[in-house]
């Protein structure tokens, strides 16, 4: 049964915005409830509350955290039987911090931290507690928060709510409000459950975020700069800043500087004594003292001329010594420091322990007013058993009960600190602090000390002197409170008008003394007076400035500033900002109270404070030299720094969104050199794009790709090593890594793989790889279920004549030139290979194309080509009409400008112009292209140049094409042969598929290319007619067909099931209408697919290589060529 007086005991506790539930509300909330999850702030509190509510019949079981147990018991709540599951957290469950890319000190300029994104997460050492809450919440219907009823406790409560409702959104949430862990208090809290107060929690969120942003920015600024300037003194020193820390330091420095600046002055006064038969009496001068020696001397001489004293007044009045007010946190810290010599941090630690054990009420309170409904008599009765103060407690009860002396402060959260039960088993400082609290409580509930004060005033030569006496009539509270003293001083009996001869009249000199250094109690008093911190954080801020060596302690426990602390305060003061003064922080503390009361919006306060400190920070960085000068007075001359950038790194700019987590990806530099794109969500997200060593420079360009999604995707400026790119490509150009730029897809070898889960350490990745859950490619293959071709990096080509672009291997090193010694058809032939053995690079010296590896006798394979962009250009290079093209913009297969000639032979093509190689006939590459067509058949057998932007179709030289069947691969099961299966390809922005002509694959035979009637290229002016020679070419296009129609193997067409407008992953829409089908060729175990298409006004020639099922069943290439 809950007594009515106890029900009334908590009426004063609800905060503004915290609504107590009515009986009807409670019945609705508890309807159908079987299990209630209760969460306290600490395990000791959970154990104590569970023990009291269960009457000692709780059942303990283990949680996932060995420090936080689970206590179960049956309880009857509002007439309903429920099972209570009581557990705990260990303070704050979640922590604030910047996103991973901002956490390393060298990751960004500190200025960025004022606006950098902050995340709330569960630290690893609390994950077991979080998992326990999630597990228990799933089986409960109601969550009751039993955390401490202050700001921090309310915020911790909302952290618990966030975690539990994430796994069970339907969970009802209630708040228990209590100020002591006693049976009466916790039972009353259970019967008067309330709603949690979001506004109080918001105030804590604002303070935490501001402390993080301001503290991190200034701390990094100070530490990184001063460590470089004073490396011999501060190389290992953390130089932290806090908006409470610095004003606290400022108080110490201000007092020290006041002592330093103090100039003592000599003063003079007249002293009179009288040796009465009832005792000696000293009379003090009513003028107190004079600083003018002559004036004092004249008055003294007048007194000496007639030293007879006359009693002019005798007064007697009652005098009281007030008992102490109700005890709040600040007063407890001050008393413990002064009377017990226990510092504030240790005081609060002990008080917290006494609270969780149920010996005292909640020790963090700003209230010094006892609520009228609090049963003080019962609390006094608890103390009557002690032999030391028990009789005094009994006397309070006998004289009408406790009559506390209240103050004028109330935080509407907790009553003043008081004992809740008697303890006789405590030891050491715990016992001393408990005794202080008990004696203070009894003294507060007692009576003031009473006395009688007598004042005697005399006159000598018209100068007045007075003496005071005191007689104590009733000691009252002084009998139980030894921390106060009131001494008696008895005066002889004097009567008004009587005269006497003084024993001495003398002029004495003295000197003013400086103020003393601050004690901890003095410092706490100043912090409270100026609104620095709260009662719960004073000790923390004091300990911080001690730990940072900003201040030290003298032998008598007074604060003395160190050189570092002095230099910091003087440096900021010289900038014109009184950052060591309390005004800025006091304004914030006032705003936080208004947030709690609902009078200010938290976002408004946050924005105002961030902008205020950000502006101060910007100007502090601009005037940082003054900070250096201030510290150099204590540490000597520092190291000269030329630029601010020498200390702080540039701000990383986002390049694109991470395809895996959606956070920004930024360009970074590896420690070993080189560049890569990193997800800012690392290490939770390990997506990265590693660029090869051939990239010498990389930076973000100001232009945004109009194609890639999600916007914005910024282009990058690249500079490559000489020889790492084909001769036709510039070494510097701008490209997009969003997937639309086929140049970078091939050159950087952007193959995609999922990054591993976080394992506590970074795993280095090979160059050119992106770790992600989705490809960086913008093509729609994944959307439609079509496998994307894997890309291989374009192998480097030999330099064109007259260029310094030497041959380099896939490692980025200069390739080694060797000669074949073995007897055979290639004896004496020169070739290039990797000089370090790090890759399988191979290239015949007399051929224009590299191989991906293999012995010298292996036939070369054609790599896919792609285009680069010069810096600042948004257009591809080498398109038709480029300046300097001898053939109207076309390049031959030698990668040289083609020449334009005219057909002179009579026939349908007479007068028609075409492009051809400009070299002498015996050295020509066989290139041919009609001027009025985008594509035309070229001479068979020409070497593959790989890269170059022309409208010409690039035929592939193949040899020894075997006859046989070509089994197609199943789209859904790569590498598994199935007759008649569709094989879909993505060429550029277009989706193609290959289909067999019959139900089964047809044999492939070799044969020369035959042009249809009326399409044969005529002889040019020189009399030469381009021919298609060489075995192994079996094209199947509308205009070209094999000589033996029965040997045709493949036909190509657009998949009629695919819309004419193809939508990619990022929403790109491809061209409408039918596209010319590519041609298919067979060489060995490979199928070469070749075609061309128009896109964005440019002609593209495409070559793909499909391998037959075997050891390597993957698609080898699918990249746009010249």
Name the token pair of 117: 């994104």
**Rounded to an integer, what distance in angstroms lies between the CA atom of residue 1036 and that of residue 1034?**
7
Name the token pair of 1122: 């010249």
**Rounded to an integer, what distance in angstroms lies between the CA atom of residue 768 and that of residue 772?**
13
Residue 147 has pLDDT above 70, yes or no: yes
The fraction of the chain above a pLDDT of 90, given in percent, is 41
Q: What are residue 664's phi and psi, to 5 degrees?
A: -70, 145
pLDDT grade, residue 947 (50/70/90)? very low
Per-residue exposure over 172-209, b if at least 16 CB sit within 10 Å of its own CB, e if not:
ebbbbbbbbbbebbbbbbbbbbbebbbbbbbbbbbbbb
Residues 422-427, mean pLDDT to the nearest whole number: 92
Residue 855 has pLDDT above 80, yes or no: no
Residues 893-909, mean pLDDT to the nearest whole number: 78
**C-beta of residue 677 within 8 angstroms of C-beta of residue 660:** no
**C-beta of residue 467 within 8 angstroms of C-beta of residue 398:** no
pLDDT in tens, 483-513: 999 988 888 999 999 999 999 999 999 999 9
pLDDT in tens, 583-630: 888 888 899 999 999 999 999 999 999 999 999 999 898 888 899 999
- Spatial strand order of the sheet with 928-930 comes to 899-902, 913-916, 928-930
Can you say whether the dihedral through the CA atoms of 422, 54, 158, 173 is positive or negative? negative
**Rounded to an integer, what distance in angstroms lies between the CA atom of residue 50 and that of residue 71?**
7
Can you say whether the dihedral through the CA atoms of 327, 331, 335, 341 is positive or negative? positive
The fraction of the chain above a pLDDT of 70, given in percent, is 68
Cis ω for the linkage preceding 626 (within 30 of 0): no
pLDDT in tens, 290-338: 999 999 999 999 999 989 999 999 999 999 999 999 999 999 999 999 9
Helix axes 245-261, 520-529, angle to 10 degrees: 120
Q: Tell me, what's the pLDDT at 837?
A: 67
Name the token pair of 572: 């900021």
pLDDT in tens, 374-409: 889 999 999 999 999 999 999 999 998 999 999 888
Sheet strands (E) in 804-951:
816-819, 830-833, 842-844, 850-851, 899-902, 913-916, 928-930
3-state secondary structure (DSSP) of residue 1052: strand
Q: Tell me, what's the pLDDT at 40?
A: 95
Strand pairing category for 769-771 and 1117-1120 = unpaired
Out of 501-505, 1045-1049, 1114-1118, the most confident range is 501-505
Q: What are residue 17's phi and psi, to 5 degrees?
A: 90, -5
**C-beta of residue 452 within 8 angstroms of C-beta of residue 488:** no
- Spatial strand order of the sheet with 732-735 comes to 695-704, 714-720, 732-735
- Spatial strand order of the sheet with 842-844 comes to 816-819, 830-833, 842-844, 850-851
**Rounded to an integer, what distance in angstroms lies between the CA atom of residue 850 and that of residue 853?**
9
Residue 87 has pLDDT above 90, yes or no: yes
**Rounded to an integer, what distance in angstroms lies between the CA atom of residue 1056 and that of residue 992?**
10
The residue assigned the tokens 């033996």 is: 1044
**Rounded to an integer, what distance in angstroms lies between the CA atom of residue 849 and that of residue 863?**
8
pLDDT grade, residue 445 (50/70/90)? very high
Q: Tell me, what's the pLDDT at 268?
A: 96
* DSSP notation for 549-563: TSEEE-TTSBEEE-H
Residue 963 has pLDDT above 50, yes or no: no
Catalytic residues: 362
pLDDT in tens, 1054-1072: 332 323 222 333 333 333 3
Q: Tell me, what's the pLDDT at 109?
A: 87
**C-beta of residue 286 within 8 angstroms of C-beta of residue 299:** no
Can you say whether the dihedral through the CA atoms of 806, 807, 813, 819 is positive or negative? negative
Domains in the chain (CATH in brackets) are 4-196 (3.40.50.140), 206-257+539-645 (1.10.460.10), 266-322+450-511 (2.70.20.10), 329-446 (1.10.290.10), 652-784 (no CATH), 796-862 (no CATH), 944-1122 (no CATH)
**Rounded to an integer, what distance in angstroms lies between the CA atom of residue 393 and that of residue 401?**
9
**Rounded to an integer, what distance in angstroms lies between the CA atom of residue 544 and that of residue 542?**
5
3-state secondary structure (DSSP) of residue 582: coil
**C-beta of residue 918 within 8 angstroms of C-beta of residue 932:** no
Residues 813-830, mean pLDDT to the nearest whole number: 80
Q: Tell me, what's the pLDDT at 1010?
A: 34
**Rounded to an integer, what distance in angstroms lies between the CA atom of residue 731 and that of residue 743?**
13
Q: Tell me, what's the pLDDT at 25?
A: 65
Residue 1093 has pLDDT above 50, yes or no: no
Residue 974 has pLDDT above 80, yes or no: no
**Rounded to an integer, what distance in angstroms lies between the CA atom of residue 154 and that of residue 149?**
6
**C-beta of residue 364 within 8 angstroms of C-beta of residue 374:** no
pLDDT in tens, 109-146: 899 899 888 989 999 999 999 999 999 999 999 999 99
* DSSP notation for 46-66: HHHHHHHHHTT--EEE--SST
pLDDT in tens, 621-674: 888 889 999 999 999 887 877 554 456 666 667 888 888 888 888 888 887 788
**Rounded to an integer, what distance in angstroms lies between the CA atom of residue 927 and that of residue 920?**
13
pLDDT grade, residue 761 (50/70/90)? very low
CB count within 10 Å of CB 970 equals 15
* DSSP notation for 449-509: EEEEEEEEEEEETTEEEEEEEEEEEE-GGGGT-TT-----B------TT-EE--SEEEEEE
Q: Tell me, what's the pLDDT at 928?
A: 78
CA distances, 194 to each of 173, 273, 365, 526, 990 (Å): 9, 69, 20, 36, 64
pLDDT in tens, 178-236: 888 888 889 999 989 999 999 999 999 999 999 999 999 999 999 999 999 998 889 88
Residue 289 has pLDDT above 80, yes or no: yes
Q: Which residues pair with 98 in a beta bridge?
A: 118
Sheet strands (E) in 1036-1096:
1041-1042, 1050-1054, 1079-1083, 1086-1095
Q: Which residues contact 770 (CB under 8 A, 6 or more apart)?
A: 659, 677, 687, 688, 689, 750, 751, 752, 753, 776
Surface-to-core class of residue 420, CB atoms within 10 Å of its CB (0-12 exposed, 13-18 middle, 19+ buried): buried
- Spatial strand order of the sheet with 70-77 comes to 59-61, 70-77, 80-88, 35-40, 142-146, 172-175
Can you say whether the dihedral through the CA atoms of 425, 428, 433, 436 is positive or negative? positive
**C-beta of residue 41 within 8 angstroms of C-beta of residue 88:** yes
Average pLDDT of the chain? 74
Q: Which helix (H) or strand (E) holds 275?
A: strand 266-276
Out of 716-730, 972-986, 1076-1090, the most confident range is 716-730
Q: Tell me, what's the pLDDT at 154?
A: 94
CA distances, 392 to each of 340, 376, 820 (Å): 22, 15, 111
């Amino acid at each position: 049964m809950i007594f009515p007086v106890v029900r009334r005991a908590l009426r004063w506790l609800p905060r503004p915005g915290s609504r107590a539930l009515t009986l009807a509300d409670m019945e609705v909330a508890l309807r159908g409830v079987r299990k209630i999850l209760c969460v306290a702030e600490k395990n000791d509190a959970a154990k104590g509350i569970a023990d009291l509510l269960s009457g000692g019949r709780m059942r303990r079981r283990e949680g996932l955290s060995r420090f936080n147990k689970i206590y179960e018991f049956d309880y009857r709540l509002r007439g309903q039987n429920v099972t209570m599951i009581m557990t705990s957290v260990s303070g704050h469950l979640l922590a604030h911090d910047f996103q991973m890319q901002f956490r390393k000190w060298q990751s960004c300029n500190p200025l960025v931290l004022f606006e950098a994104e902050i995340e709330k997460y569960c630290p690893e050492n609390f994950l077991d507690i979080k998992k326990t809450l999630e597990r228990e919440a799933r089986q409960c219907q109601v969550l009751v928060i039993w955390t401490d009823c202050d700001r921090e406790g309310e915020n911790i409560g909302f952290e618990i709510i966030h975690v539990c409702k994430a796994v069970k959104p339907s969970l009802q949430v209630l708040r228990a409000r209590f100020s002591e862990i006693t049976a009466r208090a916790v039972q009353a809290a259970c019967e008067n459950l309330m709603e949690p107060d979001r506004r109080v929690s918001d105030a804590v969120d604002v303070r935490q975020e501001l402390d993080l942003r301001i503290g991190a920015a200034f701390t990094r600024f100070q530490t990184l700069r001063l460590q470089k300037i004073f490396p011999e003194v501060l190389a290992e020193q953390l130089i932290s800043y806090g908006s409470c820390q610095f004003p606290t330091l400022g108080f110490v420095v201000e007092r020290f500087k006041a002592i330093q600046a103090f100039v003592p002055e000599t003063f003079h006064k007249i002293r009179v004594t009288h040796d009465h038969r009832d005792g000696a009496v000293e009379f003090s001068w009513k003028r107190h003292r004079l600083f003018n020696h002559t004036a004092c001397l004249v008055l003294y001489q007048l007194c000496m001329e007639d030293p007879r004293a006359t009693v002019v007044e005798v007064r007697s009045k009652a005098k009281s010594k007030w008992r102490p007010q109700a005890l709040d946190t600040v007063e407890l810290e001050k008393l413990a420091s002064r009377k017990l010599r226990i510092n504030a941090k240790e005081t609060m630690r002990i008080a917290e322990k006494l609270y969780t054990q149920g010996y005292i009420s909640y020790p963090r309170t700003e209230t010094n007013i006892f609520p009228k409904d609090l049963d003080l008599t019962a609390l006094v009765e608890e103390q009557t058993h002690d032999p030391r103060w028990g009789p005094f407690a009994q006397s309070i009860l006998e004289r009408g009960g406790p009559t506390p002396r209240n103050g004028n402060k109330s935080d509407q959260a907790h009553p003043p600190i008081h004992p809740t039960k008697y303890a006789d088993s405590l030891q050491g400082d715990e016992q001393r602090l408990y005794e202080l609290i008990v004696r203070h409580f009894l003294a507060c509930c007692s009576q003031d000390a009473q006395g009688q004060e007598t004042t005697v005033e005399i006159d000598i030569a018209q100068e007045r002197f007075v003496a005071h006496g005191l007689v104590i009539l009733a000691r009252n509270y002084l009998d139980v409170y030894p921390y106060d003293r009131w001494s008696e001083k008895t005066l002889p009996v004097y009567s008004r008008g009587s005269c006497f001869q003084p024993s001495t009249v003398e002029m004495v000199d003295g000197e003013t003394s400086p103020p003393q250094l601050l004690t901890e109690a003095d410092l706490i008093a100043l912090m409270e007076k100026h609104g620095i911190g709260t009662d719960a954080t004073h000790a923390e801020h004091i300990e911080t400035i001690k730990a940072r060596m900003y201040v030290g302690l003298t032998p008598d426990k007074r604060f003395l500033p160190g050189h570092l602390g002095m230099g910091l305060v003087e440096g900021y003061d010289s900038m014109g900002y009184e950052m060591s003064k309390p005004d800025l922080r006091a304004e914030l503390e006032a705003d936080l109270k208004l947030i709690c009361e609902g009078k200010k919006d938290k976002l408004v306060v946050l924005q105002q404070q961030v902008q205020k400190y950000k502006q101060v920070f910007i100007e502090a960085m601009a005037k940082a030299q003054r900070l250096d000068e201030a510290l150099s007075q204590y540490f000597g001359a520092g190291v000269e720094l030329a630029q601010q950038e020498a200390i702080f790194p540039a701000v990383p700019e986002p390049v694109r969104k991470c395809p895996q987590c959606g956070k920004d990806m930024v360009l970074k530099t590896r420690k070993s050199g080189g560049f890569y794109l990193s997800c800012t969500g690392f290490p939770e997200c390990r997506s990265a794009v590693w660029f090869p060593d051939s990239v010498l420079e990389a930076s973000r360009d100001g232009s945004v790709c109009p194609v890639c999604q999600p916007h914005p995707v910024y282009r990058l400026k690249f500079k490559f090593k000489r020889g790492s790119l084909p001769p036709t490509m510039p070494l510097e150009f701008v490209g997009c890594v969003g997937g639309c730029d086929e140049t970078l897809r091939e050159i950087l070898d952007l193959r995609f793989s999922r990054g591993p889960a976080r394992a506590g350490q970074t795993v280095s990745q090979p160059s050119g790889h992106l770790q992600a859950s989705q490809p960086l490619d913008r093509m729609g293959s994944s959307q439609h279920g079509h496998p994307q071709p894997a890309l291989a990096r374009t192998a480097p080509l030999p330099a064109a004549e007259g260029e310094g672009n030497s041959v380099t291997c896939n490692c980025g090193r200069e390739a080694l030139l060797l000669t074949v010694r073995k007897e055979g058809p290639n004896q004496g032939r020169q070739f290039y290979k990797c000089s370090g053995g790090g890759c399988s690079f191979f290239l015949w010296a007399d051929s224009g194309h590299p191989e991906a590896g293999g012995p010298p006798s292996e036939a070369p394979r054609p790599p896919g080509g792609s285009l680069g962009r010069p810096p600042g250009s948004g257009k591809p290079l080498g398109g038709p009409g480029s300046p300097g093209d001898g053939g109207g913009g076309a390049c031959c297969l030698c990668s040289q400008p083609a020449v334009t000639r005219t057909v002179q032979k009579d026939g349908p093509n007479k007068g028609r112009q075409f492009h051809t190689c400009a070299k002498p006939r015996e050295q020509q590459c066989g290139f041919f292209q009609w001027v009025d067509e985008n594509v035309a058949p070229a001479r068979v057998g020409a070497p593959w140049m790989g890269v170059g932007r022309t409208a010409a179709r690039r035929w592939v030289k193949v040899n020894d094409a075997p006859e046989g069947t070509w089994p197609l691969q199943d789209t859904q099961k790569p590498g598994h042969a199935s007759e008649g299966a569709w094989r879909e390809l993505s060429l550029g922005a277009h989706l193609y598929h290959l289909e067999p002509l019959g139900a089964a694959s047809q044999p492939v035979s070799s044969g020369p290319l035959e042009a249809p009637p009326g399409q044969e290229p005529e002889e040019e002016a020189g009399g030469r007619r381009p021919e298609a020679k060489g075995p192994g070419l079996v094209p199947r296009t509308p205009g070209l067909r094999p000589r033996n129609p029965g040997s045709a193997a493949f036909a190509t067409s657009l998949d009629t099931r695919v819309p004419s407008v193809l939508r990619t992953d990022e929403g790109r829409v491809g061209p409408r209408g039918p596209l010319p089908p590519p041609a298919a060729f067979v060489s060995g175990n490979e199928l070469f697919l070749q075609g061309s298409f128009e896109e964005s006004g440019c002609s593209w020639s495409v070559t793909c290589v499909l391998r037959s099922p075997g050891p390597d069943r993957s698609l080898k290439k699918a990249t746009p060529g010249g």
